[in-house]
Chains A and B, each alone.
Chain A
Amino acid sequence: MDDLINFFKKKYVIIAPLLIIIFIAQNEQYSQLTSSGTFGSALRLSIPILLAGLGGLFSERTGVVNIGLEGMMIMGTWFGAWGGFMYGPWGGVLFGLIGGGLFGLIHAIATVSFQVDHIVSGVAINILAVGAARFFNILAFDGIAFASSTASPRIEGEVGKFNLPFLTGGTLNGNETSNILGDLENANIFLISDISGLLVGLTSNISYFTIIALLLVPISVYVLWRTPIGLQMRSVGEYPSGSESLGVNVYLMKYIGVIISGCLAGLAGAYLVLEGPNVYLQGQTGGRGFIGLASLLFGNYRPLGVLMGAGLFGFADALQLRSEEAIHGLLIAVALFLFVLTINNLSKRNFKVSTGTFITGLFFLVWYLNSTSVPIQFIYFTPHLTTLVVLSFSKQKFRMPKKVGVAYKKGELN
């Protein structure tokens, strides 16, 4: 029992909101909060952010700030669409990766070899990518049906999808199997149905592209923390002079990190195209590269943390797409969570913070009680606001790589 209490004390920031949301979802009006449909689209919406965040991780761990993720992602969307149009969906995946990687290379050349300020180079890449994608699009698809200067023609076919056998009704050797989790979800049992909803959402009708993206999380952990190259890459972000003195090729490690970063951002762009409208559209990324960067901060420069940050944003995004009523339910959820924070801070005698959270909580409570819905303009803004709120309330103790953003010149002590 004590263990359980301790566990809750440590992880209440994660557990409390989950419990609150499950509780609220029992109300018919807000049932979308925990439906499999919400979780399914949450997953699809989080993957691009996850990929961009992992991209940021590889770059920043080697000491290069990559604010150009957005631009690399834009290249991913266009190259993904072009590759898809020419060589089918998997061609799209490959070319998305290459397109992002190319812009990663540009960022690496600028920041590592020429010691350009990382932010300047990143901003330049973001600007360049918008123009380049449009230019390529006109150049490549001129005269092809349904293509315009801002949109590519449609990609035929899609990356394969599958269901889990037995649990969510997938096929095994060509035979249909049972759908245990789906049945549980529909049974409307407190907690069990909600959790089943989550699992169904995460395991049914999943494309192989999604699986690859999710696998990249453990792969990143393995590469960065379990291999010699990962150790060298991390050391370069912490103290390049020290790495150099031990024979580590600092420039090479930074190049590798930034190029991988571009490749992952490119994959994120390709995912937006191939798992979305199946065409390239100008402005398709919609700032997701930056949100990927935010998820990197939220995740404290660790792959699992990035996954959590991306999941949170995806969930909020899915809600605003699927159910306006559920967003209204979120108001009371936010209020309740802020009260939990208030109590926690009171017990730590942290009065300034607890007053702040209490008043904000009260504000959300009053808003909830005096309204039946959230203004439509606000609903579109929910995911971004959620990200903002979570970032500001999460513990601001980032352990970022020591020398991130600092130019390194060979043979120089810094």
Chain B
Amino acid sequence: MNKAITVSNITKSYPGVLANSNVSLEVSEGSIHAIVGENGAGKSTLMKILYGMVKPDDGSISIFEKITQLSSPKDAIDSGLGMVHQHFMLADNLSVLESVILGIDNATLKNINLRRYKSEIMEVINKYNLNINLDKTIDELGVGEKQRVEILKVLFRGAKILILDEPTAVLVPQEVEELFNNLRDLKDNGVTIIFISHKLDEVLEIADEISVMRGGVMVNTVDSENISKKELAEMMIGKSLPKPPERQSSVGDLKILSVENLSASNDDGKDIFNDITFDLQSSEILGIAGVEGNGQRELVEAIIGIQEYNSGSIRLKDEIIDDLGIRERLGLGISFIPEDRQAQALIMDMTLTNNIILGRQSLKKYKTKLTTVNLSNATTASESVIGNFDVKTPNANTIATALSGGNQQKYVVGRELEDNPTLLIASQPTRGIDIGAQALIWEKLRSTRDDGLGVILISADLEELIGLSDRIVVIYQGNFVAELKPDEITPEILGSYMTGLRK
């Protein structure tokens, strides 16, 4: 079979890091080829080189068996490559049609022939069975639809090779299935697909061939028929894959949190969440499952006091906390791991030591007698978090930006567990971090849970949710629609509740 892409001996180093070392790769035309590896294994660098965004130090690339110089994305597009980025490259305010044709015409003042473009795009949509409405604006679309628009964008530009960077990271299982059907249609039409992922089940399901990267080196390329998940995992990380820790349900008797009939609506009078009631015991992890935007974020923000609610009440242990402000609630022992560590949890340009005071500025131990900041206590606390949570940093006075995502997140989790809270609200605690950091955070959550901590866990990673939680509630359009036992469900079942298919 002809080769769509041949990469020979690519090397690329950044200051202090060898991102790709002597990497070679062959992709057959019309196949689905997966590239797996942990974060930092060099997958992204390789893809950026393929797409012309980064220049390799050494080595060569052939596309359709012709040596090609790729010095910009435009070169890549011209030679038939198309990239679907992990972060959607779409502008909310533009229509789907506008998003697809953006950049095709040179920037001139002649009228855009919208009707002609529309019929041409419809041809592509029909050929590959993509279900897309061209007249909607991007912000009206769901995640799966946005991804289809991205695929349509590159197909309409005549791409014969599609590179998908972690395409399933943002999708629920049903959407993943739909995406895979689309990909199979594409393959049947002769399109070559490179699929980057670290989710091994998915890779085994969709790919014909799998290449494994580790530490900037291409470890092996195997046929997906002849390999098991376990073997793949071992290849990927050099040892066996850590699993979400097994549950030994030992839910305590003490009621930590009880939420009664909580409702909130936005300025337009539309419900954000409606009549939410639940209890949380000590030593319990309550998982809240839901597709993003169904009210779970606002619900936990209401518990912390960020989100106002119209009715209902919240009780922490024996105390009703409805009238308390955020600082007072945190003072009562609520800890919060926000979903976006860089925007909400850390001040990126401040040192780790300064960051540990964040949210605890009113604690006595961080104040001197003159009410200035007690830096020596902060440094001690910061160093203990760094030690206990294995945060890889030169010292406690490094600024947060300098740390990798996994280490930032370990630091945040460590900070939130530092003062022995009674309630921890963890929103996406392991999103986008490497397997090592993930395993450590899971371990810490479990051990503090065993010590009596009550945890509310929100996660888009359904395996994590099922693996960690003692109980799972599903939130759909602002209502709790189901309460499930983790050992009786699979991600697929959970996904169907989350999307409202099952009630």
Contacts and interface: CB of A to CB of B under 8 A. Distances in A.
Interface of A: 223, 226-229, 231-232, 234-235, 238-239, 241-243, 245-249, 252-253, 399, 401-402, 411, 413
B230 interface: no
B91 A239 contact: yes
B106 A228 contact: yes
B85 A245 contact: yes
Which 8 pairs, one residue from A and one from B, show the smallest C-beta to C-beta distance?
A238-B91, A246-B103, A242-B89, A228-B105, A239-B91, A229-B107, A245-B89, A247-B74
B90 A239 contact: yes
24 contacts: A223-B109, A226-B111, A227-B112, A228-B107, A229-B108, A231-B98, A234-B91, A234-B94, A235-B98, A235-B102, A238-B91, A238-B94, A242-B88, A242-B89, A243-B103, A245-B73, A245-B83, A245-B89, A248-B102, A399-B93, A402-B91, A402-B92, A402-B93, A413-B87
A223 B74 CA distance: 25
Interface string B29-54: 00000000000000000000000010
Contacts of B77: 247
A241 B89 contact: yes
A231 B101 contact: yes
B110 interface: yes
A243 B474 CA distance: 37
Nearest to A403: B91
A369 B106 CA distance: 63
Given A228-B107, A253-B107, 6 more contacts: A223-B109, A229-B107, A242-B90, A242-B91, A401-B93, A402-B92
Interface string B84-128: 010111111110001001111111111110000000000000000
Contacts of B153: 246
B80 to A, nearest CB: 15
Given A246-B103, A248-B102, A238 B111 contact: no
A413 B85 CA distance: 11
Given A234-B94, A247-B73, A247-B77, A239 B89 contact: yes
Contacts of A234: 91, 93-94
Nearest to B268: A397
B134 to A, nearest CB: 14
B102 A243 contact: yes
A247 to B, nearest CB: 5
Contact of B112 (A228, A246, A401, A402): A228
A228 B73 contact: no
Contacts of B93: 234, 238, 399, 401-402
B94 A235 contact: yes
B450 to A, nearest CB: 40
Nearest to B73: A245
Interface in B107-159: 107-112, 153
| Residue among A227, A242, A243 with most chain B CB within 10 A | A242
Contacts of B98: 231, 235
Contacts of A242: 88-91
A414 to B, nearest CB: 10
Contacts of B88: 242
A158 B177 CA distance: 71
B112 A247 contact: no
Given A228-B112, A239-B91, A249 B107 contact: yes
A104 B50 CA distance: 39
Nearest to A252: B107
A253 B103 CA distance: 12
Nearest to A240: B91
A223 B111 CA distance: 9
Interface of B: 53, 73-74, 77, 83, 85, 87-94, 98, 101-112, 153
A242 to B, nearest CB: 4
A242 B154 CA distance: 13
A220 to B, nearest CB: 12
Nearest to A226: B111
A311 B74 CA distance: 45
Contacts of A411: 53
Nearest to B90: A242
Contact of A227 (B74, B92, B104, B108): B108
Nearest to B91: A238
Contacts of B101: 231
A243 B110 CA distance: 20
A245 B104 CA distance: 12
Contacts of B112: 226-228, 231
B111 A227 contact: yes
A226 B104 CA distance: 14
A238 B94 CA distance: 8
Given A239-B89, A242-B89, A245-B85, A232 B109 contact: no
Nearest to A233: B107
Contacts of A252: 107
A249 B102 CA distance: 12
B110 A227 contact: yes
B39 to A, nearest CB: 16
Contact of B102 (A223, A227, A232): A232
Nearest to A411: B53
A246 B102 contact: yes
B92 A229 contact: no
Given A227-B112, A248-B102, A249-B107, A235 B91 contact: yes
A232 B103 contact: yes
A407 B98 CA distance: 24
Nearest to B93: A238
Contacts of A238: 91-94
Contact of A248 (B53, B87, B103): B103
Contacts of A232: 102-103, 107
A107 B72 CA distance: 29
Contacts of A413: 87
A223 B85 CA distance: 30
A238 B73 CA distance: 20
Contacts of A241: 89
A227 B109 contact: yes
B108 A228 contact: yes
| Residue among B53, B87, B89, B108 with most chain A CB within 10 A | B89
| Residue among A223, A228, A235, A248 with most chain B CB within 10 A | A228
Nearest to A249: B107
A263 to B, nearest CB: 15
Contacts of B108: 227-229
Contacts of B91: 234-235, 238-239, 242-243, 402
Contacts of B83: 245
Contacts of A248: 102-103, 107
A241 B83 CA distance: 14
A236 to B, nearest CB: 9
A200 to B, nearest CB: 35
A170 to B, nearest CB: 32
| Residue among B87, B92, B93 with most chain A CB within 10 A | B93
B102 A231 contact: yes
Contact of A229 (B74, B85, B104, B109): B109
Contacts of B110: 227-228
B107 to A, nearest CB: 4
A413 B111 CA distance: 31
A390 B185 CA distance: 55
A247 B74 CA distance: 6
Contacts of B53: 411
A257 to B, nearest CB: 12
Nearest to A241: B89
Nearest to A229: B107
Nearest to A350: B269
Given A228-B108, A231-B112, A247 B103 contact: yes
